[in-house]
Amino acid sequence: MEFASIRIITSDVDRLVSFYELVTGTTAIRPAPVFANIVTGSATLAIGSTATVAMLGDRAPKPGANDSVIIEFMVDDVDAEFERLRGGLDDIVLEPSTMPWGNRSTMFRDPDGNLVNLFSRPV
């Protein structure tokens, strides 16, 4: 088995894709208007519209309803990335800080309210 991706379901694919393109510095692969992949060196973040899960009916994921998952990206310099992104962030949860276990981390929410963590490991 191979881990393929995490998919975020959204009501506004274009808005979320633009946000994650900014965060990752990666251009999304858009096989269809309702779907995109942000492919990094180690993982894929998929973004799909509600149309991609409509066949699940009442059991389909609901956009903007996540309150249990943190989307994490490991970076070389948390402080530099935070400064690069600061102007594009509407909801900063944690300014760059050193965690008790040594990681340097900053957290913010994407336009759908999902929590995003940029972190670096101690050297």
Q: Please count the other Cβ atoms lying within 10 Å of the Cβ belonging to residue 118.
A: 23
For residue 60, is it within any domain? no
Q: What one-character DSSP code corresponds to residue 28?
A: P
Residue among 92, 103, 110, 121 at smallest CA distance from 18: 110
Q: 28 lies in which domain range? A: 1-53
Contact 48, 7 (CB under 8 A): yes
For residue 64, is it within any domain? no
* CATH number of the domain that residue 84 is part of: 3.10.180.10
Q: Which residues of the chain fall short of a pLDDT of 50?
A: none
Torsional sign, CA 94, 98, 81, 6: negative
User: What pTM did the predictor assign?
Assistant: 0.94
Distance of CA 100 to the CA centre of its chain: 24
Question: Looking at the structure, do residues 73 and 123 belong to the same domain, yes or no?
Answer: yes
Check residue 48 and give its pLDDT.
97
The domain total for the chain is 2
Q: Which residues, in sequence order, are bridge partners of residue 37?
A: 29, 46
For residue 63, is it within any domain? no
Note the pLDDT tens digit of each residue in 107-120.
Answer: 999 999 999 999 99
Question: Looking at the structure, do residues 122 and 74 belong to the same domain, yes or no?
Answer: yes
